[in-house]
Each structure stands twice: as C-alpha cells, then as structure tokens.
Amino acid sequence: MFVRKTLATFVFEFSRSLTTSRIATSLVLALFAPVMLVLIGFTVDINGVRNQIPFPLFVLSIFHLLALFLAVLLWATPVVYSELEGKTWSYLSVRPYGKFCSTLGKYLNAVAWAVLTTTLSLTASCLVISYFVWDVSFFVDNQIRPPEDVAKQIREGLNNANSPVVIWYSLFPCLILGAFAFSAIFVHIGLLAHKRGMVFAVIYGIVETAFSFLPAIVRQLTIGFHLRNIGLKTSNLDVSALPPQFSNILATETAIWVHVLALLIITAIHLGLAIYWLHSREYITAEEV
Amino acid sequence: MPVNDLGYRTWDGVITSPYMRWMTIAMSGIRIVFKSQWIKRLMFLAWAPALAVGAMFFFYEQYVENRDAVDVATGRDSGFRQVAGVLRMFSSESQAKIVLDAMAKEPNEARGYVWSFILMRMLRGYSGWMVLMLVGLITPPLISKDIRSRAFLFYFSKPITRTDYLLGKLCTVGFFVGFVTILPALALYLFGVVLSPSVFVLLSTWDLPFRVVAACLIVILPSCLLGLMLSSLTSESRFAGFAWFTVWILGFVGYRIVLFSTQLGGSNLNIEASESMWQAVSLYDCLGFLQAWIMGLETNHSFAIKLLVFVLSLSAFCVYVIMRKISAPINA
Amino acid sequence: MISFKSVSKLYGLVNGVNDVSMELSPGAFGLLGPNGSGKTTLINLITGQLRPTVGSVEIFGENPWGREEMLSQIGLCPAVDVLYSNVSAFEWVNYQTRLIGFDWSEARERTLEALATVGMSDAMHRKIGGYSLGMRQRTKLAQAIAHEPDLLILDEPFNGLDPIGRQEMTALLRRYLANGKSIILASHVLHEVEEINPDLMLLSNGRLLAHGSPQEIRDVLSNQQELVDGNIPEIARPGFEDKVRITELFIRCNDNYILAKRLFDSQQICSLAISKDKTELTVGTTSVREVYTLLPEIAVKENLEFYEFRSADGSLDDLFSSLMKIHRGES
C-alpha cells in the first residue's frame, strides 16, 4: 500500500508538472550546455585544447553535473515548502502515511525530471561535440570510404575518451545515480529548512563541490567524488596520462561498484533522515500560528 | 444628555508628498524582511571581513613608511615582492600590473591604487557573495507574494503609481544590500584613514568613497532589478529563487569554462575571453569588471563602456518587464 | 470518541489553545469562536498534525500523533482554498482518495460518487483554476467524504456557497449524521451550525468557554446570579438599582399594551418597552421562569394571542455574546 500511494503521488505530480512554464524551464536547463558548446566550438580551438586534456568529457561532465544540480534544486528542495506555501499540506498530512508517501512520490518526480532534463542535455551536447571532434570520416578524396575502414575507425573511436558515444555512456549512469543521490539530499535539506531550502541547498552544493576535490577522507562523503570516479572509469580514460594537477585530484584505485554502493548508501541515509523529520516535526501553514 | 456624532468625518490633516509614497512601501517591506533571523545574521556577518581586510591598510602603510627606494629599484625589496605575490594571487594580471607599476614609481601615488585594490577585494571577494545570497533570500517573495495574494488590488486602489510600487520594492531589497556592501566598504575606508600615519592620505584617496559608492551601485541596481523581475514573473517564490541562482551559477561556470579553454588552446578569433563579450555570460564577472573599472583598476575603457551599456540595457529590460507585470492585474 | 485532557498548545510564546478539557461522544459538534480563538489549532490537534505542549489528546482511544492508520477514519475539509490550479477536481479527489489506500478502480468509483454527492459531476474534468469559490468548496468537501470517514471535520464549509448550496450542504451533513457518522463543524455562520443541531464548543483566546448543547448552556446562563454592572433599562423601576443580571425577552402578541400592563405588576419585571412600530414588547426581567409562569395566566385572562416569543439568549449569536461578556467579566 505504501508503494501504491507513492506511485499514485508520482503519477499525480508528474502529470501536474507538465505545464508550459515548467517544460520551458527544463528546456532552458537542457539546452544551456549544447548552446554553450556551439559557441565554444566556434570561438575556441577545441583541437588545441583536447590535445592537452579530454576536453569534451571534461566540459560535458561539468555542464551536466551543473544541469543536474539545478534541476534537482528546482524539483526536490521545495517538496514540503511548495505544499506549505500553497496551503495544501493539510490535505496530505491527514491521509494515512500521506506525508511520507507524498514526499517520496515527489522525490521520484524530482528524479524523473532531473534524468529527463540531463539526458536530453547530454544527448544534444554529444551531437554538438560530434560535429566538432568526430574523428570518423565517410569520404576520402571525394570517394566513399570502404565500410570496413569506417567501421574500424568507429571501433577505434569508441575506445577514445573524446568520442561522443563514450562520453554519453560514461556520463549517463553518473546522471542517473546523481539524480537519485542529489534529490535525496535536497529533499532532506528542504525538510530541515523548508523556508530557506534553496539557499541552503546552493551553499551545500558549493561546499560539496569544494570538498569533493580535496585529497582527504572528506571527499568520500561527497557525491561529486563518487560520480566523477564512475564517469572516469566507465570512459576508460587513462588518468595517469593527464597533467599532474588533474591526475592528483582525480586518480583513484577503487572499483566502480564501491562508488555505486557509496552513492546508494548516501541516498538511503538521506531519505531515511527525511522520513524521520517528517515523522517528528510539525509542519504548519502560516495561518495556523 | 448631548449625543456625540461618531459618524464618518473627512480627514483635514496634512497629507504627505505624493513623491514620497514609495517610502511607505519600502519601510513596510524593510520591517517585514527584518523580522527574519537569517537576514539579521547575514547582515551582522557582512561586517566581519571588514576588520580582517582593514588590517591590510595598516600593513601597507607601515610598508610605505619603512621602505627603501633603492631596494625597490634593485629588486631587493622583499616587502614589494610579497605585495606583488598577493596582488597576482587575488586579481587579474592587468589589475596587478597597474598597482605594481604605481608602487615601483612612488608609493604615495600608488596609495590610491593599493587602497582601491584592497576595497575591491572586499567588494568582490565577500560582498559579491553576500549580495547573491541576500537578494536570493529577499527578492523572490517580494512581488510573487503580491501576485499570489492579489495584493495589487490593495496597492493600486490607493493613489500609488506603478513607479512608487517599483521604487518601494527596489528600496526594500536595496536597503539590505546597501547595508552589507556600501556601509562596510565606506567603514573600511575610514578604518584605513584612521590606521594611516598621517591625515594627508585623504589628499590621495579623497575620490575613493565616491568610487566605492558607484562601484556598489553598479552591482546593486542590476542585481536587485533582475531579482525583482524574476519575482514578478511567477506567483511561486521558489521558482523566482531558483531562476535567480540559475542565472548566476550557469553564467559563472560557463564563463570559466570558456576562459579555461582559451587559456589552454587559444581562440579561433584571437580574442582573450577575459576581454571579450563572453563576460556578459557571467553577470558576476561582468559586474566585477565594471567595479574594477570604476575603482581605477582596469584601463580598457572601450570594453568597459560596452559592458556598461549591456548592464544598463539589462536593467532597463528588467524595469520594462516589471512594469508590464505590475500593470497586468490592473488591465485585466 | 475524542478526549482532551488539560491540553495546551504553544507556538513559541503564542498560545494556540489553553488548558482545554473535554470528552466528545459520537455525534455532531459545532466549534465556534472568533478568528484567532484556536479553532484551527484544535482541529490540527484532533487530526494529529500538531502535538500538544501540555496534556493529552485521544481520538478513537489513541493518541493521533504518529498513528497514521487512524487517519483513514478522519476526513478533513480545511478552510483554506485549494490551489492546484492546473488540475481537475476529478484528478485531485481521485489522488486524495488513492492516498487513503484504495486501489485505482475503487478510488475512481468513490471519487465519482463523492463528486456526484456534492454536485460537481458536470464540472469535474475542468481545471480547478477556473472554478468559482463555491465549486472549490464543493471539491474540498468531496475529497473529505470520498472515503466515508467516521469523523468528518469541516472548517468553514459554507464559505462561498449560495443559499441553495448552503441548504444542500446542510442536507448532506444531516444525511451523514443519520448514517451514524460524527461531524465537527467550525463556522462563523452560526444559524447554519444550529441547523444540524450540534453540541457546541465555544472557544475564545484558546480557552474553551462552554461545551454542551445549546439548551444546557442557556440553562446555565439563565440560572446565573452574578453581580455585575447591568444595562440601564428604558423604564427603570425603583428597587432595581442594585446590580443584578437582567434577561431580555421579546414578545409579540395581538395586544402588547395589555400584556405590558399586566406584567408591570410582577416584582420580577424591571423594564418594559414597546417597539416603535408597536408590534413587539421587550421585557427585562431578573427571572425568566417567573415570566414563563405569568404568560399563560395572562393569555387566558385577557384572551391574548401570542405570535412570537424569544429570549435574548435564544439564538446562538446572543448565546455567544453572553458567554463572551462573562469571559470578559462584563456580566
């Protein structure tokens, strides 16, 4: 019954959020990265850059983690505050387990929108990147190349961290896992400080990003660190070949499954704490004071 | 027994000037916002760095008092090298060069630049972030709540114009932002004067208070207008807050990636990203450049004028949108 | 059904409810009080959304805080407006019903039935943003009754309803009561609260002023002999300068002058006044029972025909006003 109610909330919230303004907001977030890449592609010598670092992977990972962060900020942080502000919290809280199921359903809605937005953004960005850095050519001397030559070049390209296909399948799982993890944290923050949730979430994001780059134990507690490692390992990037200022920060020997497990544990902990706050705190609308 | 007439009586007192009605809206807004504990904490915290930054004035003045011109010329002046290191760490190359060149010639002439630099650190390094947080805290509900509660009916059934309304709301947020930017910066300047060995420092730094106010206003006005515009576009304050942070974060990151890319690989158009219209992508950097220009630390006047035109156009656009949104309930 | 034992609720330094004790059996209850009297706080304590600062609350024998299963027995129609503007009534009520725990098909059936009961079948697929206030009110009621709760709590349910709507609402509530359910109705529309003949809970400044049936409360008031500053009557009789509690009675009969003349002889009558249009006699008395005893005798003797008889405490408005006066120390 708990699952049924949570899914009912998810379906209701998802259909309710299909408005012009919300779709437009998601599109703006989704198109920011591809548009920036187009502008960069025409003004910056990308080939000059990617000879030094895996520029497409690097740039896309930053843009899309940012898009993920902002999508989750919009959808996950105000799960309770939106109901309190709209004075509809009473309807949910007088249902048996209503506040828990509605919060979890909204959490799933936040994850869904974050995944949709960032997947669209990633796909569009990879298409843009392929225009600028695609190493496969179908023609030589105005003649069509033999298919086996093209296939061989594609296969070689698939092992290259600059390849759009590699970038897509290395970043996509990061975005999925990141959506679940960041949404859980932001839901937790939104329940702890429902009036100023967004401000605290932004501060959290800045602090977390800084900590994730510290070569210390604290980075193990950050989501960014685990996502970065998953992306790097999936892309088969040789971290040791990077300039020292990058390899020192990014290099790690831990297996992928450890990072995935860490993310799942972080997600579960924050969701658990969110449920606890819902159970123990009183949420009232302003009129009731 | 005489019976008193307690019925309606017309007002025959003095009515305040119609040009000051916006103050009523501003004062009311300020009182409401000031009830928040978080706002009070932020406003208190805003003054804390002034003390730390103020120490820089003291150390510089002590250095100027005790330095030897020959050591500077021969490169044996360790103090000068330390200052140069600090400048290069916390500012752009062009800004550092201006200050260091002036210091190498004559420290009394350099005072204006060095003090400008110190004040810029305060404005950029700390006050800038405070503006971001404060406006993000205060502006989202300012107009969106009026839209949600249909308070326009109350406002515009009184003899209040749209301009009064906008000015009142602008001053509500402007008061707090000014409190954490202009006042600490001016206090810092006075702190520097007080810590100087001689009152004649005023002769070489008399223009700094005016520059500080102008540099703060160039950030306060467009930021507050942008925040109010976003608030006027929705009845739910969380969307306005989200849009506010999104504009700054996306611009900040996007610009830095472009900057980083051109530094690594060069530009197809042979333009340094730091002095191209790429800066317009990031409001933080755009306004920062204008602040540095006002403080005399940037000399690319033509580029600064372009950015100024961009910022003023953005502000005008925000005013246009706000006025339209305010008028919408009246015209409905 | 509901038990409050010395319950107080503080919001920081603001008192929501103050030392409220009461036991409510199943039935109908009217919750009356001005704005800020603590009605919504009381409702939130009953529904388990708030915990009492002091004291204990029991609903159906259990503490409602944290007892999520118990909430399926409660239906709440709050005073606040529904603000999901881009959702239809059907979608929203269906969602609320599914949150009770019903599966898709049963929730759908109940939703359709509830919306039909409140008269929203025709408009149920339109967006709530385009509804009138009365339509939103009906939609709120539908979500409260869809799961047929044992206890229905309504906060200002008559807001925005036209006279026909109010009648229909009253009829619906009566039917609900007839099915053995309980209702708590918080309202300022006092004469409509009276329509469902509830027991009353009168709140002011967080305190429970009185609790019981209207007749019980009137009896308490009529038996009171507290010494107060009385109002100066229009025709003051000597001997009534002392401070006594005066009750006013309003009587209409075919000859008010004769009635006044006969009543004047009674020692318990302290004032008599005839209205300007001469249709109503206002009698000020220290003993309503005395007047009740006299009237039939006078009616027989003088062959009078009575059209209307009411006391100043005969309507809920007057009842509440009297209680407020006592609370303020004025009577």
- pLDDT recorded at residue A107: 95
- Look at chain C and report how many structural domains it folds into: 2
To the nearest whole Å, the CA of A70 is away from the closest chain C CA by: 24
Q: Quick one: C197 and C306 in the same domain?
A: no
Give the pLDDT mean for A1-15.
91
Residue B247 amino acid letter: V
- pLDDT recorded at residue C284: 83
Domain, as residue range, for B33: 20-331
Q: Are C150 and C182 in contact (CB under 8 A)?
A: yes
pLDDT digits (tens, 9 = 90+) for A137-169: 566 666 677 777 767 766 666 666 667 788 888
Size of the A and B interface in Cβ pairs below 8 Å: 94
* B273 in a structural domain: yes
pTM for this structure? 0.79
* C216 in a structural domain: no
With CB atoms and an 8 Å threshold, state whether C72 touches A12.
no
Q: How many CA atoms lie within 13 A of B54 on its CB side?
A: 18
Q: Which chains touch C (3 or more CB pairs under 8 A)?
A: A
Considering chain C, what percentage of its residues have pLDDT values greater than 70?
A: 82
Q: With cut-offs at 50, 70 and 90, classify the pLDDT of residue A246.
A: low
Nearest to C83 among A86, A100, A101 (CB): A86
Q: Which residue has the higher pLDDT, B317 or C271?
A: B317
For B107, the token pair is: 């420290």
Nearest to B238 among A40, A66, A82 (CB): A82
* B4 in a structural domain: no
- Look at chain B and report how many structural domains it folds into: 1
pLDDT digits (tens, 9 = 90+) for B182-237: 988 888 888 888 877 777 778 878 888 999 999 999 999 999 999 999 999 988 88
- pLDDT recorded at residue A274: 93
With CB atoms and an 8 Å threshold, state whether A90 touches C80.
yes
Q: Which residue has the higher pLDDT, C80 or B68?
A: C80
- Look at chain A and report how many structural domains it folds into: 1
* A288 in a structural domain: no
End residue of a domain, out of C211, C246, C280: C211
Nearest to C100 among A16, A95, A289 (CB): A95
Quote the CA–CA distance of A137 and A134 in Å, as a whole number. Answer: 8
Quote the CA–CA distance of B297 and B94 in Å, as a whole number. Answer: 8
Candidates A22, A83, A94, A103: best to mutate against C (most CBs of C within 10 A) is A94
With CB atoms and an 8 Å threshold, state whether B265 touches A59.
no
Q: Residue B166: which of B27, B33, B25, B314 has the closest Cα?
A: B25
> Which chain A residues are closer than 8 Å to C11 by Cβ?
289
Look at residue C91 and tell me whether its pLDDT is greater than 90.
Answer: yes
Considering chain B, what percentage of its residues have pLDDT values greater than 90?
A: 20
Considering chain A, what percentage of its residues have pLDDT values greater than 90?
A: 31
Give ipTM to 2 decimals: 0.81
Give the pLDDT mean for A119-130.
88
Give the pLDDT mean for C92-101.
93
Look at residue C239 and tell me whether its pLDDT is greater than 60.
Answer: no
pLDDT digits (tens, 9 = 90+) for A217-238: 888 889 988 998 888 888 776 6
Q: Which chains touch B (3 or more CB pairs under 8 A)?
A: A
- pLDDT recorded at residue A273: 94
Q: Quick one: C225 and C197 in the same domain?
A: no
With vertex at residue A274, the alpha carbon angle to CA A272 and CA A279, rounded to the nearest 5 degrees, is 95
Backbone angles phi, psi at C184, to 5 degrees: -120, 125
- pLDDT recorded at residue C237: 47
End residue of a domain, out of C159, C188, C211: C211
With CB atoms and an 8 Å threshold, state whether A94 touches C51.
no
With CB atoms and an 8 Å threshold, state whether C50 touches A15.
no
Q: Quick one: C248 and C200 in the same domain?
A: no
Domain, as residue range, for A108: 2-283
Chain B residue nearest residue A81, CA to CA = B238
* A205 in a structural domain: yes
* C24 in a structural domain: yes
Quote the CA–CA distance of C44 and C41 in Å, as a whole number. Answer: 5
CATH number at residue C120: 3.40.50.300
Quote the CA–CA distance of C170 and C159 in Å, as a whole number. Answer: 13
Look at residue C246 and tell me whether its pLDDT is greater than 70.
Answer: no
For A112, the token pair is: 């869904």
Q: With cut-offs at 50, 70 and 90, classify the pLDDT of residue C228.
A: very low
- pLDDT recorded at residue A117: 93
Q: With cut-offs at 50, 70 and 90, classify the pLDDT of residue B118.
A: confident
Cβ of A246 under 8 Å from any chain B Cβ? no
With CB atoms and an 8 Å threshold, state whether A282 touches C51.
yes
Chain A residue nearest residue B133, CA to CA = A199
- pLDDT recorded at residue C227: 32
* B34 in a structural domain: yes
Domain, as residue range, for C39: 2-211
* B264 in a structural domain: yes
- pLDDT recorded at residue B87: 63
Q: Is B226 helix (H, G, I), strand (E, B) or coil?
A: helix
> Which chain A residues are closer than 8 Å to C38 by Cβ?
none
- pLDDT recorded at residue C95: 94
> Which chain A residues are closer than 8 Å to C82 by Cβ?
88, 91
Q: Which chains touch A (3 or more CB pairs under 8 A)?
A: B, C
Cβ of A287 under 8 Å from any chain B Cβ? no
With CB atoms and an 8 Å threshold, state whether A49 touches B241.
no
* B310 in a structural domain: yes
Q: Which residue has the higher pLDDT, C232 or C39?
A: C39
Q: Which residue has the higher pLDDT, B52 or B78?
A: B52
pLDDT digits (tens, 9 = 90+) for A183-218: 999 999 999 988 788 888 988 998 998 888 887 788
Q: Quick one: C22 and C117 in the same domain?
A: yes
- pLDDT recorded at residue A272: 95
